[in-house]
Structure 1
Amino acid sequence: MTMTTTSTTTQTRAITITIAILAMGGEGGGVLADWLVDLAEHNGFLAQTTSVPGVAQRTGATIYYLEMFDKASIPDARQPVFALSPFPGHVDIVLASELMEAGRALQRGLVNPERTTLITSSHRVYAMTERIAMGDGRMDSAKLMAGAQAAAHQFIAADFSAIASQSGSLIGPALYGALAASCQLPFTRQQFEDTIRRGGIGVASSLQAFAAGHQAAQQQLLPHNAAAATPVHEPAAPQLPQLPAVGPRLHAMAQRIQQDFRPAAQANLMAGIARLTDYQSEKYATLYLDRLTLLNQKAEASALGDEIVAEAARHLALWMSYEDTVRVADLKIRRSRFDRVRGEVKKSSEQLLDINEFLHPRLEEIADTLPAPVGRWLLKTNWARKLLGRFTQQGRIVKTTSLRGYLLLYAIAELRATRPYSLRYSHEQERISDWLNTVENLLQANNSLALQVVKAQQLVKGYGETHSRGWRNFQRLMSALPKLQNDADAAGQLRKLQTIALSDDSEQELLTSLKAQGLLQHN
């Protein structure tokens, strides 16, 4: 058990315990802090807690700071002076409700390898900067976990969020149980549990989550020799990913995949036909397989054939299920979405739930949804653009939990039947065909470059301005291909340019790089 001592003017030294809790809004961080104060005050300690509100990008992330003083160690006629915020390097215990919160604790210097016990949940709630990145902007969880383990004196990590969910509770009680199991506070398990009972709210579920968190932490604190005694088995031979199950309507396509396509690509293909049937129809999913059949045959002699076809299967499915107003409306009124929102807010049977969607389609997106001739006419007719622009200048809020709002989005979602005749559909199918032709033509000359062209599709995604920006960057890279092919490391160069495009929303860094290499064809 780690305790610090605070010097006084006498020879007596007061025993102090410092604790920092990093949690996001709605996770019970404040309740956890209150429990710890109550635990201390009912068992011979003085305690104080303060909180420092966080930022909206982390869903209201807050740091709660506690100090406990053992009354028995405080000199007569003296009162301890409590600090209002944690001091780097002088925190005994850090509790983090999510892995990035543990990273914030490391960044702030709250974790000291000589004294700090770090207890964190291993699950992730992605920050806004991670979500809006053009590419994969996620922090590497494995590196974050390794860094936390190396930085702490004692490290305990488990998916306490899942543990709490299974108990029908918030994550706070599960972390509280892990803290009790760590033996870093001079209190018994019974004393910890009594604090929950004194709270009087959600006692049964909180105690259940406490017990599960306690057990998960104890399993990590088993002696090292127990792990050493575990028999070691030879690693099994690598296996291909298990094919996802599909419904009866897709059995014929699934059989075609298993018969005609290489095993390395079959898992992606099965996921692709399921996605595209849900997006449009079985006919559309069949078009997906037809498009990949020629590529599958041409890649037969390629050293990278398996990877090229597997990656093409994934990226083609994503491109063919492009996001348009029809898709957005469809996803917002699905039962699974309503169920997910109810679960996230922990709606009870006595509560009413309203879901308000902010929608702001641009004129171009409206034209894309219309039949191709009508959409083209709208985009080139000034008076029609100005008239419609009056109604699209500002977004509107649609309450999907109301009959009117639901029916509005339902009507838009039903336009799926007309999607194959829309302006956007004709554009996307033409672009997809050009992309696949480019890949097929490169297979014989430079299969590494062909693979990177497949992966460059990652730029073409999203909705509205995000999609427009990605498509412009994709066009720039495809225009640079003729000159890039003469480079000995053409695939590596294209990969670097793609990374630049994904990391800069302004597009200027990519334009600068293309210009410097003499690859800029158009702006």
Structure 2
Amino acid sequence: MTSTQLHPGTPIKIAILAMGGQGGGVLADWFVDMAEHAKWWAQTTSVPGVAQRTGATIYYLEMIPETDVNAAGRQPALAQMPTPGDVDLVVAAELMEGGRAIQRGLVTPDRSTLIASAHRSYAVGEKSARGNGIADPNKVIEAGEAAAKRFICLDLQALADQAGSVISASLFGAVAGSGRLPFTREDYEETIRRGGVGVDASLRAFALGFDAASNAPATPARINTEQAMPAVPDTASNPRIRKMLDDLRGNFPLSAQPMLVTGLRRVIDFQDPAYGAKYLDRMRALRNLDEQHGGDAKNWALTNAAARYMAVAMAYDDVIRVADLKTRASRYDRVRDEVGAKSDQLLYTTEYMHPRVEELCGTMPAPLGRWVENSKLASGFLGRFCRKGRFLQSGTLSGFLMLYSLAGMRRFRRSTLRHRIEVASLEAWVRLIEETAPVDYDLAVEIVNCRRLVKGYSDTHERGESKYRRLITAAAGMRGRPDAAQRLRDLREAALADDKGGKLDTMLAEDMKLAA
């Protein structure tokens, strides 16, 4: 081990930003253990953060050689929290946590090395946004290049998964590989061995992280955020689906085919092949409308947009769909992988469910559901059972059978009240598109895109549906305006950006004044 220090006579200062389950505490303890076995003084503290995903915590460490302490003639006074502009090494277990460190001023170009994993764990705000709320990871990479003296950005989560370990081990390896701290590789590895838990897997992840950081480029690579569109399959085992694929390839524009395949898969998964055929029938009518009004010259913008949102409208989220997804084997396998459960371990998932009277009525046959909704006595009685949410263990026999039975109602979905409501909304939307396209093609495309607001179920669906209805009403009165398409686009973006809809209401009120 070398005794070289970053700043002779002063402690080395390290900040670790990690979320729950990523082993940030273990990583901090490894640093302390390694330092103490090298005859250094070391101290670690942690500051829990608010729950952004599973709760982000800052672990802060300071360490100083015992020789420096003896030379000073007194015990060191080590700080308990990081100070902006005074941190040597910042380790982030997720890319946006690296961005938060930059925002807090912990990363500085004259001093700090920033090591961040390039993978993403989406924040609640990103996942619950009306539109695409996912932040651009490359903005963080650009900020890291400007803010840090050295910036190492690698997918350390993937390396940990490859080794069958957790990200704390690959992060530890990346720090060792960076050469930023005055310890040898053997010091790091012996620290892991002394821990005595998951040693072999941790050492494998450490080695992968070490090699990746040792060979890391001076400038981190940008992250490709483009999603590859699926190709149209050559065939299918089901003859009905095979016929639909042939129809799709032969009768729809090439640019729309990838999204049409995605939409077809979604609606078939939602219901059955007959429902998929209905999707293609609706799309064929819009494709013909598109061709009649110059779609070829406009790169089939109407068909391309409708391919996506027709599928979203037809494969809506209802309680039957939610129950179906929660009881799929693929979902249990995914959860087991996410929590790292072993094959001999039992895993129980607790679901939180809070259906409203509207959701319960939506699963009933249309006449009965409508009667219950309109009856104060019946809806009031049913509402007594919907006043608070309930927790359900879907891994138990009783919990699974309850959800499985609800998912089995899929065969009766076409007769339910919710389906009748969704079909009526969809048909009104299609009629407005058909009436608008001959007059204003661009406005018709924007009307198609308004379906982006409608998603989810329960309160989420109700809020989106309310905004969507207001936009559709406004769109119907815009035909003939030269700026109609742009104005509807602006209204839609306002609705997506504001959860409460206040900005949308203000803009709609302005339009009403202008119209008057």
TM-score, normalization by structure 2: 0.93
What code does the residue aligned with 1:341 have?
V
Name the residue aligned to 2:242.
251
Q: Is the 8 A contact 1:476 1:520 kept in 2?
A: no
1:338-360 residue CA offsets vs partner (Å, 9 max, x unmatched): 11111222222443222121111
CA contact (8 A) 2:19 2:54 kept: yes
Q: Aligned letter for 1:498?
A: R
Which residue, 372, 395, 418 being the options, matches 1:378?
372
SS of the equivalent of 2:55 reads: coil
Q: Structure 1: which 5+ runs fail to align? A: 6-12, 228-238
Contact 1:47 1:66 in 2 (8 A): yes
Counterpart CA distance in 2 for 1:223 and 1:482 is 51
Aligned to 1:216: 212
Residue 329 (structure 1) aligned with residue 318 (structure 2): no
How many pairs are equivalent?
Answer: 501
The residue that corresponds to 1:288 in the other structure is: 279
Assess if the C-alpha contact under 8 Å between 1:304 and 1:448 holds in 2. Answer: no
Give SS of 1:217's match.
helix
AA matched with 1:322: Y
Range 465-474 or range 38-47, more displaced? 38-47
Match of 1:428 in 2: 422
* Gap change, CA 1:347 and 1:482, over 3 Å in 2: closer
- Which secondary structure does the structure 2 equivalent of 1:47 belong to? strand
Cα deviation for residue 440 of structure 1 reads: 2.9
* Contact residue 355 and residue 458 of structure 2 kept, 8 A: yes
User: Is the CA contact 2:192–2:199 (under 8 Å) kept in the aligned structure 1?
Assistant: yes
Q: Look up the match of 1:453.
A: 447
Q: Which residue does the alignment assign to 2:58?
A: 63
Q: Which residue of 1 aligns with 2:112?
A: 116
The amino acid across from 1:293 in the alignment is R
Amino acid at match of 2:237: P
Q: CA deviation at 1:305?
A: 4.2
Query: Structure 1: which amino acid aligns with 2:110?
Result: E
* Aligned partners of 1:121 and 1:157 also within 8 Å: yes
User: In the aligned structure 2, how far is the partner of 1:222 from the partner of 1:459?
Assistant: 42
Distance in 1, Cα, partners of 2:181 & 2:346: 42
Match of 2:510 in 1: 516
Identity within the alignment, % = 46
8 Å CA contact 1:240, 1:264 repeated in 2: no
Residue 206 of structure 1 and its aligned partner are, at CA, apart by: 0.3
Secondary structure at 1:376 match in 2: helix
Deviates more, 1:99-108 or 1:509-518: 509-518
Q: CA deviation at 1:374?
A: 0.8
Q: Secondary structure at the match of 1:456?
A: helix
What are the within-5 Å matches in structure 2 for residues 119-518 of structure 1? 119-221=115-217, 242-243=231-232, 247-249=236-238, 250-300=241-291, 301-302=294-295, 303-518=297-512
Which of 16, 19, 23 is residue 28 of structure 1 equivalent to? 23
Q: Is contact 2:248-2:257 (8 Å) kept?
A: yes
Partner Cα separation in structure 2 for residue 55 and residue 136 of structure 1: 23
Counterparts in 2 of 1:102 and 1:389: CA distance versus 1, 3 Å: same
Give distance in 2, aligned partners of 1:437 and 1:410.
37
Residue 150 to residue 246, structure 1, CA distance change in 2 (3 Å): farther
Distance 1:245 1:339, change over 3 A: farther
Query: How far did residue 446 of structure 1 move?
Result: 2.0
Q: In the alignment, is the contact (CA less than 8 A) between 2:115 and 2:152 conserved in 1?
A: yes
Ranges in structure 2 where 5+ consecutive residues have no aligned partner: 222-227
Shift of the 286–519 alpha-carbon distance from structure 1 to 2, 3 Å rule, reads: farther
Rounded Cα–Cα distance in structure 2 between residues aligned with 1:342 and 1:240: 28
Report the 3-state secondary structure (helix = DSSP H, G, I; strand = E; otherwise coil) of the residue aligned with 2:477.
helix
1:359 counterpart letter in structure 2: M
Comparing 53-62 with 257-266, greater Cα deviation is found at 53-62
TM-fit CA distance, 1:241: 5.8
Corresponding position: 1:42 with 2:37: yes
**Whole-Å Cα distance in 1 between the matches of residues 72 and 498 of structure 2?**
62
- Deviations 1:201-253, CA, capped at 9 Å, x for gaps: 111000100111112222324799xx9xxxxxxxxxxx986336774222211
State the Cα RMSD in Å: 2.2
Q: Distance in 2 between matches of 1:240 and 1:141?
A: 21
Q: Which residue of 1 aligns with 2:12?
A: 17
How do residues 86-125 of structure 1 correspond to structure 2 at under 5 angstroms?
86-125=82-121
Q: Distance in 2 between matches of 1:316 and 1:428?
A: 12
Contact 1:514 1:520 in 2 (8 A): no
Shift in CA distance, 367/201, structure 1 to aligned 2, threshold 3 Å: same
Distance 2:282 2:299 in 1: 16
Correspondence for 1:235: none
Equivalent residue of 1:118, what SS? strand
Q: Is the 8 A contact 2:84 2:107 kept in 1?
A: yes
Q: Deviations over 1:120-145 (max 9, x none)?
A: 01111111122222222221112122
**SS of structure 1 residue aligned to 2:392:** strand
Residues 299 and 305 in structure 1, CA contact (< 8 A), matched pair in contact too = no
SS of structure 2 residue aligned to 1:192: helix
Q: Counterparts of 1:122 and 1:240 in 2: how far apart (Å)? A: 23
Structure 1 residues 399, 484: CA separation in 2 closer, same or farther (over 3 Å shift)?
same
1:4, CA displacement in angstroms?
4.9
Contact kept? 2:151, 2:218, Cα under 8 Å: no
Q: Secondary structure at the match of 1:248?
A: coil
Q: Distance in 2 between matches of 1:351 and 1:182?
A: 37
Q: Say whether the 8 Å CA contact 2:151–2:219 is kept in structure 1.
A: no
Change (3 A) 1:240 1:37: closer
Rounded Cα–Cα distance in structure 2 between residues aligned with 1:85 and 1:123:
26
What SS does structure 2 have at the residue aligned with 1:444? coil
- Residue aligning to 2:225: none
Q: Could you tell me whether the CA contact under 8 Å between 2:447 and 2:475 is conserved in 1?
A: no
The answer to whether the Cα contact below 8 Å between 2:34 and 2:188 also exists between their aligned partners in 1 is yes
Deviations 1:324-371 (A, max 9, x none): 111111111111111111122222244322212111111111111111
Secondary structure class of the residue paired with 2:131: coil
After superposition, give the CA deviation of every residue in 1:243-283 in whole Å (9 maximum; x if it has no partner). Answer: 36774222211111001101101111111111111110000
Of 26-35 and 123-132, more deviation after overlay is shown by: 123-132
